[in-house]
Amino acid sequence: MSFKCKIGNSILELIAGDITVQDTEAVVNAANKALSPGGGVSGAIHRAAGLELWDECRTLGGCRTGEAKLSRGHNLKAKYVIHTVGPVYSGSKSDPEDLRDCYKNSLLLASRNKIKSVSFPSISTGIFGYPVNEASRVALKTITNFLEEHPEIDLVRMVLFTEGDYGIYKASLDKILKD
């Protein structure tokens, strides 16, 4: 299951799959504030990258909600991991703002480090409880806005873990592309 479209000079791709095996230069981790392995996608990335990733994360000084930190990819195919901490869903006005900051700051960090291809998981929609439909709109709107202004990024790949999530993201993207 996959879909590709052009946004400005860049490609935006949606796939159903596992982020730990992606061949983009960077993969984004839906981390916690301590940057410790945890569960969900973060646990999977740390298991695949090896203990050296946690050793490096311990030197990064943690990460605030909406912020992004860079590490190497260690045993992953991806050369880098961008760690960002999504909001714990509360239904307040700050949720979409914080989630937008995650995507934006991750892409800015990629751009500043000359990273041209990035894979994202669906940040905050697992353990942090953000409804996937709402989160997909924030994620895709932020990514498409960014790519329109930043042709230096060649590829953004949204990696959805289930076919259900893929369908929700695809419907949101169709809507955004029509507007």
Letters for 25-44 (x = contact with ligand AR6 by CB under 6 A, - = none) are: -----xxx-----xxxxx-x
Closest CA to 160 of 29, 42, 22, 17: 17
* Cβ–Cβ under 8 Å, residues 68 and 61: no
Mutual angle of helices 163-178 and 132-149, in 10-degree steps:
50
Is 31 or 109 the residue whose CB approaches ligand AR6 more closely?
Answer: 31
* Residues whose CB falls within 8 Å of the CB of residue 111, separated by 6 or more in sequence, listed in order: 150, 152, 153
With CB under 6 A, what is the number of residues at the site for ligand AR6? 24
Is 148 or 163 the residue whose CB approaches ligand AR6 more closely?
Answer: 163
Q: Does 24 bind ligand AR6 (CB under 6 A)?
A: no
Letters for 110-139 (x = contact with ligand AR6 by CB under 6 A, - = none) are: -----------xxxxxxxx-----------
Q: Does 140 bind ligand AR6 (CB under 6 A)?
A: no
- DSSP lists the bridge partners of residue 14 as 3, 158
Rounded Cα distance between 10 and 35, Å, is 30
Q: Does 20 bind ligand AR6 (CB under 6 A)?
A: yes
**Binding-site ranges for ligand AR6 (CB under 6 A):** 18-20, 30-32, 38-42, 44, 86, 121-128, 159, 161, 165
